[in-house]
Structure 1
Amino acid sequence: MSDLDALMKEQQAPVTAPLDIVPAVPAKDRAPAPRLPKLVTGSRRALFAALLAVAVGCAGLGLLVALQVGRLVNGAAVLPAAVGIAALVLLLGYGRYQERVLAEKLGQHYVAQLRVGLISHSMLASKVPSLGITVARASNDLSSVRNWVAQGIAPMLAGIPLVAISMAGLWMLHPVLALALGLPVLALAGALLLLAGPAFERARTLRRHRGNLAARIADTVAASSAVVAAGGVARELARVKASGQKVMDAAVHRARLAAVLRALSLGMPLLATALVVLLARHAQLDAGQIATALTLLGLCAAPVGEWGRIVEYRQNHRAAARIIAPLLEEEGELSAGPPLREDARHAAAQIQAERVSGVWLRGITLEGRPVPELLAEPGARIRMTGGDARVRAQLFGVLATARTPDGPVLGNLGSDASNRAAGYVVAGAIPAAVEEKKRRRLIGAAFGSMLPERGTVLRALRYRRPEASPAKALALAARLGLDTARLEHGENTQLRRGGMPLDAAQRAGLMVARAVLGSPALLLLNDIDSHLDAAARRELEAMLQGYRGVVVVGSDADWCSGYREWNLDGPQAPAEGAEGLSAAAR
């Protein structure tokens, strides 16, 4: 048995061990929980370094301002001291401005990376979440991440150096004054640490209710026509209102704890100020030293007062990361694909060298049932029958994407039956082993469940083949029921919300024209003909009669009744004629 055969069997082998005999994995041996991608990496390193430098610089400027105030109170020349203080304050204000801008750049750059990963996961994953949950993750959850980076990390970087430098300045004035600031800061840090856990749990609860509300709204709007027809508007609005009430209650519950966090943070500077005044009087400090100490405390008040908000942002970020991180980790595996062994790469290259132009699929299992083998030479027209609509839709998805719910479909076409592995080969290539550009040239698909993406009509028509002639694409679409000359903005009409303003027949014509454009080696049409008008169906039937590649249709209409049947309920037939498939293309 070849290494490729062993690899395929390993990938497809079912897990038969019952759950009750699986040994528990010790905590120390468990795989670490998924984590979000690194924040400080690539071009973000420079942003983070600049942010840290600005924070330290602002802390130093604050100390200089406090010293200048002390000199002024002790009788220094008024004009030079006032000019110096004004200049330092302007520099400090500019530093705070730069700090805010750099923090926003850092947060937006990071969130942009996560957003792309989430959308990629929604398109590639076998189990796609509802539209509402996807939107909630790409908005609310990513907002939590952005708030932590831009409004959590940045104030923390600003506050810690400022407190440390202020304590050093107070120590120079009198060691006991440093304790007046240090002890309240330590007490605040301890209180915030104790409240961080409950804040995290309340953030998770609110996030869960928000996701449920978003999913309910999306599903209700999508089913609006059926709801109105069944007289259920009031009933569905009541359910939306109930879900919204849960969000409101969870938000208020979280706000109570957030208010405690912020009250503690704002109260700490007041406590430190009172202690400094009492200790300064006890230590008999002069007016200039007291003015310097109070100025330092005033500078610390703003960033330390944000620590409660920082804890809140951090827990919201953790709650969002708990959901987002596993999805992004899975997306990385899906987009990269499985690591192909060298013999698999060689097999794919060898198949391509044989210039096989047909389609061969064997050994695939869906929902625990084997799929009958498909062997088709160029020009074959096949109608998929048997099974239920859901299973047929899944199999069409496998053919279109070369991916099953368990992962990509690899294949190996050899003349020796003992070397044949379960997999999928079309036009001499393994679709799972080739890049997207090549796969879209090999395969064209139009399903009744498909909707065009946002953009112009012409872009949607040439989505598979961007290099195709616009005139050819538009003429093909016109034959199939989409005459762009009748649209208000012609080929530049913007498509939104799943293909609006096109009607169902025009959208179907667009998707079929896109699939046929360029005559791919494998053309897949599932439940799309019923959406075409009568004239477009006749045109499609005529096109397919002389089609050079393999056509697989999922339809019960009479126009394809003469096609060769691929019965999903039939027996698993042997792969007879595989050698003939290779010879036919030579």
Structure 2
Amino acid sequence: MTPSLPSSPEATAFTGVPASPEASASTGAPAPEESPPSIPRAIGPGRRLRFGQLIGIGVGQALAAVGVAMLTQRGFDTLLGTTGDAGGSGGPSAPDAMSLTVLVVGLLLCVLVSAWMRGAERTESEKLGQHYVTEVRATLFRHLTAVPARELGRRGRGDMLMKFVGDLSALRLWVSRGLARLSVAGVAITLAVSALAWMNLVLGLTVGVVLVLGAGLTLAITPWMMRTAKVSRRRRSRLTGEVTERLTQVAVLQAAGQERRESKRVGRHSEKVAAAMVDQARASGAARAIAEGTAVAASAAALVVGGLEVTAGRASPGTIVAGVSLAGMLAGYLRDLGRVAEYASRASVAQDAVRRFLDIPPLPVAPDAPDIEVEHGLVEVDDVSLVGALRNVTVRAEPGTRVAVVGPNGAGKSTLTSVVARLVDPDSGTVRIDGQDVRAHSLRSVRRSIGISSPSMPLLSGSVRRNVTYRLPKVDDEELARVTRLCGLDELVGSLPDGWDTNVGPGGGQLSAGQQARISIARAVLGRPALLVLDEAEAHLDPENSRIVDRVLADHRGTALVVTHRHELMASSDVVWCLEDGRLVRVASPRELMTSDGGTALLDEVVPA
């Protein structure tokens, strides 16, 4: 009664057959190429036993239904005084009390077993679905944390949210209510029809033909259900993205006085979503109608053909009652299976979306990559290029130096520091710290060696303490006290209602921009990282608090890369890297730049006094 998921490399991983490996795009790193992660198998490790239990439940339900049918047949024939498959002769005789008692008790037991197994099926199938979707969610999140933020930024926020909400819900429903129901109902229907054929071959074959016709009709409308599911998901994704962006940037539309315009825009998207959902409901309704029609047709066929068989003397009246009883049981399963096709189509669309996300290449790292050992802080950038951002950049920062990275907007300053910190890999070229290629070492060790503060790295929802200690959750009190004094957090924390336990809100929205900047800087310098990257860290600080950056740099014992537009900060640096249009155009000391005509002109352009 329900279609299987489409045959494709993506579907094979979903249904249990391993997908063919695909090599991830090479980035020139020494780490070996790895296949992209695959969607966990629905009937994979940890779920096979539970799936077997569902099959057992299906067998139990079928046996209970067959038991009801056979007891009904026996009781009906006994009451009518007939026996065997053919109509008997003679008038009805009163059955003894013991026979009736046995029949009634047997029927009651079969009904109770069937009811208990239906409840157990629902519980076990939900456990199966939840176990599966938990594994898928973990796979998605692990991949999310391995993909460069630059790459994720190119994806729509609504589409990303759909993967962790709508798509996972569709996959869970398919496993818990689709695949589980298909397995249980498939076993139960097969055994029930077999039992019906054993009672009367013509009756069993007739009901079987009706079921096959119903399944064929369901398969015929599967492409329609797939199309409506895809359109519905795409439009819901767009609406989710629109609403999410407006929620996070509501101050912009309010300041611009565009409330009515944006309301109309969201309204148009809502209308498109509504239309798509109605189309999807229409397709799903057709599948349910086919299931309902098949169920009615099966019962009617059992009644009509059974009557003909009784007339022909090939079946007893009790057989007809038993056949109608089994057909009624099949009707319940068929109605359930009417939704399986709907679950399958939605899950297939969700699976395709998840597969596309998992195909985004992560930063490649060898499983056995050694930790990087940073002692001096020598940074070497060798012929690094990144499409649309950097072009053949070669530069060197000596250990312990303070480097000011300057240039006009869009020059590639932040991208260069991201490449050094291995937040993104270049298309070509190499970055070495203390002579060690950062791509040949574990990401965790590289990230722990580098502290970064940037407006593009907002605070996380949670307490002030959680945000400050995020890089080093188990930092000792002495180090935390040092950073607190250095970044002037005493006054900040003292002004908050719950002190260190104050929740900063999503993105730090409960704090001012300046307060967020101070916590971000504290987070970066905690633990004295060997390399400190401050990417316009002082952008939201007032003149008084901007001195925090000066204190942090003065206290820092390692190498520092400082992206800045502040003239005083540049002048206090040891060396200046000047970038323009993705190219490194000048490397000099602040004194050289300020005393040469070309350097002065360049500084006037990118670092206003």
1:51 and 1:99 in contact (8 A); partners too: yes
SS in 1 for 2:474: coil
Judging changes above 3 Å, is the alpha-carbon distance between structure 1 residues 398 and 279 closer, same or farther for their aligned structure 2 residues? same
**CA RMSD between the two structures:** 2.7
Matching of residues 173-252 of structure 1 within 5 Å: 173-252=199-278
Task: Check 1:533–1:85 CA distance in 2 against 1; reply closer, same or farther (3 A cut).
Answer: farther
Give 1:475 shift. 5.2
Question: Aligned ranges for residues 93-242 of structure 1 at < 5 Å?
Answer: 93-123=115-145, 124-125=147-148, 126-128=150-152, 129-242=155-268
Q: Secondary structure at the match of 1:532?
A: coil
- Decide whether the 8 Å contact of 2:376 with 2:400 is kept in 1: no
**Same amino acid, percent of matched pairs:** 27
* Aligned equivalents of 2:481, 2:322: Cα separation in 1: 77
1:548 is the counterpart of 2:557: yes
| Residue in structure 2 matching 1:324, options 354, 377, 380 | 354
- Within 5 A, what are the aligned runs for 1:180-579? 180-284=206-310, 285-330=315-360, 334=362, 337-339=364-366, 352=373, 356-367=376-387, 369-386=390-407, 388-389=409-410, 391-404=412-425, 406=427, 422-427=429-434, 429-470=436-477, 472-473=479-480, 476-477=483-484, 479-482=486-489, 483-562=492-571, 563=573, 564-569=575-580
In the comparison of the two structures, how many residue pairs are matched? 524
**What is the CA-CA distance between 1:381 and the residue it aligns to?**
0.5
C-alpha distance in structure 2 between counterparts of 1:402 and 1:221, whole Å? 28
The offset of 1:40, in angstroms, is 1.6
2:12 aligned partner: none
Q: Deviations over 1:325-383 (max 9, x none)?
A: 121243xx526x2559x9xx6xx78x85x955321121210226424323122221111
Contact kept in structure 2, 1:358 and 1:549, CA below 8 Å: no
Alignment partner, residue 89 of structure 2: none
Q: Deviations over 1:168-218 (max 9, x none)?
A: 111121111112211110110110011001110111011111111111112
2:95 corresponds to 1:92: no
Query: Is 1:541–1:559's contact at 8 Å kept on the other side of the alignment?
Result: no
Task: Output the amino acid matched with 1:334.
Answer: P
One-letter identity of the residue aligned with 1:132: G
Gaps spanning 5+ residues in structure 2: where?
Answer: 1-24, 30-34, 79-94, 588-609
Distance 1:454 1:53, change over 3 A: farther
Q: Which one-letter code corresponds to 1:44 in the other structure?
A: R
| Structure 1 residue runs without a partner (length 5+) | 1-8, 14-31, 410-421, 575-586
Partner of 1:21: none
Q: 1:140 to 1:571 in 2, by over 3 A?
A: closer
| Equivalent residue number for residue 578 of structure 1 | none
Structure of greater Rg:
2
1:264 and 1:79, CA in 2 relative to 1: closer, same or farther beyond 3 A? same
Corresponding letter in the other structure for 1:568: L
Gap change, CA 1:221 and 1:405, over 3 Å in 2? farther
CA separation of 1:571 and 1:455: change in aligned 2, threshold 3 A: closer
Of 25, 30, 46, 1:43 maps to: 46
Q: Which amino acid aligns with 2:217?
A: A
TM-score (norm 1): 0.83
Q: Which has the higher helix share?
A: 1
Code of the residue aligned with 2:151 in structure 1: it is K
Q: Which moved more, 1:215-224 or 1:154-163?
A: 215-224
Find 2:55's aligned residue among 49, 52, 63: 52
What letter matches 2:476 in structure 1? Answer: S
Distance verdict in 2 for CA 1:402–1:239, change over 3 Å: closer
Question: 1:250 deviation in Å?
Answer: 0.8
Q: Distance in 2 between matches of 1:109 and 1:554?
A: 46
TM-score, normalised relative to structure 2:
0.80
AA paired with 2:417?
F
Kindly provide the amino acid, as one letter, of the partner of residue 127 in structure 1: E
Deviates more, 1:43-52 or 1:513-522: 43-52
Q: Take 1:181 and 1:64, find their aligned partners in 2: how far apart are those partners?
A: 19
In the TM superposition, residue 428 of structure 1 has moved relative to its aligned partner by 5.3
Name whichever of 360-369 and 424-433 sits farther off: 424-433
